[in-house]
Amino acid sequence: MQSDDLLSTLTRRVLFAPLADQGRADAVAERLRIAISLGILGEGEQLPPEPDLAAQFNVSHVTLREALTQLRAQGMVTTRRGRGGGTVVSAPRPNQLRVALEQVARFSRLDLRDLADWRRAIACEAASLAVARASTEDVALLARGTIRLAAAGDEVESRRADSRFFIELAAASQSVRLSRAMINLQVEYAPVLTLVYTDQQLRAEVAQILQDLMIAVREADGDAARRHATAAIDRVAVRATVMRSEGWPVP
């Protein structure tokens, strides 16, 4: 699990895992929406044939089509019927804030705190294990991740860079279960990150903290790694709490 390809493969396995109880169209749409938002499904990428995709999600063909109808209405996919047709990912950028607002609307203050607690626990454990187990290639991936976040031009790029960094940190821990837990968490937390990263100053602050975290992993400093992981998580969590009380950004 030391390459972008393997990280992407693991993330896809989590996002495209079968849904329980035959699933609902809303649940299928959300899985696909998040895959697009995280950049796991890129612009112009064609989705698997509908029968195959329905089987992956353990849903009926009708349920899948209802989900795709939702995504088409949001401008996230387009579908061409007939021979040689299929469903293709469209540019998601214009709808990202609105989609994120719809997703965080269900989060209470306690939900946000709980997610932050879980994110902190996973990130700190991943950081500790990465200090002991990360390879030179792992550290290089983390270093590139900090550069991506520092160079991000907007909230969408920032959220993708942040999610990618923490997934790579978990991968550097060499724990498959921890990596899967991190991916699931980043998927659930993605709309929160999108909204808080409308704050350009926050993006810069977190990018610096993650650079310090990467250096701690490289230098095998476990205490510093945990401290910086905690700082990054807490900085985002505090901003999310403030935004929720003052009002989330309007797209």
Q: What is the pLDDT of residues 117-155, one digit of tens each?
A: 999 999 999 999 999 999 999 999 999 999 999 999 999
Has residue 2 got a pLDDT over 50? Answer: no
The pLDDT assigned to 186 comes to 86
At 1 the pLDDT is: 40
Q: What is the reported pLDDT for 70? A: 94
For the segment 222-238, what is each residue's pLDDT rounded down to a tens digit?
A: 999 999 999 999 999 99
Please provide residue 92's backbone torsions phi and psi, each rounded to the nearest 5 degrees: -85, -15
Is-contact 123 189, C-beta < 8 A?
A: no
Using CA atoms, how far apart are residues 247 and 251, in angstroms rounded to an integer?
12
Instruction: Kindly give the residue spans of alpha helices, DSSP state H, lying in 38-154.
Output: 50-57, 61-73, 96-104, 109-133, 136-151
Give 99 or 50, the one with higher predicted confidence: 50
pLDDT band at residue 199, thresholds of 50, 70 and 90? very high
Q: How confident is the model at residue 10 (pLDDT cuts 50, 70, 90)?
A: low
CA-nearest of 143, 221, 129, 242 to 182 is 129
User: Who has greater pLDDT, 180 or 220?
Assistant: 220
pLDDT value at residue 9: 66
**Residue 49: Cβ within 10 Å count:** 12
pLDDT tens-digit profile of 169-198?
998 999 988 988 998 898 889 899 999 999
Among the listed residues 59, 1, 51, 8, the one whose alpha carbon sits nearest the alpha carbon of residue 30: 59
Residue keyed to tokens 């476990």 = 222
List the domains of the chain with CATH numbers. 4-91 (1.10.10.10), 98-246 (1.20.120.530)
For all residues of the chain together, what is the average pLDDT?
Answer: 88
> Where do the DSSP E strands lie in the chain?
77-80, 86-89
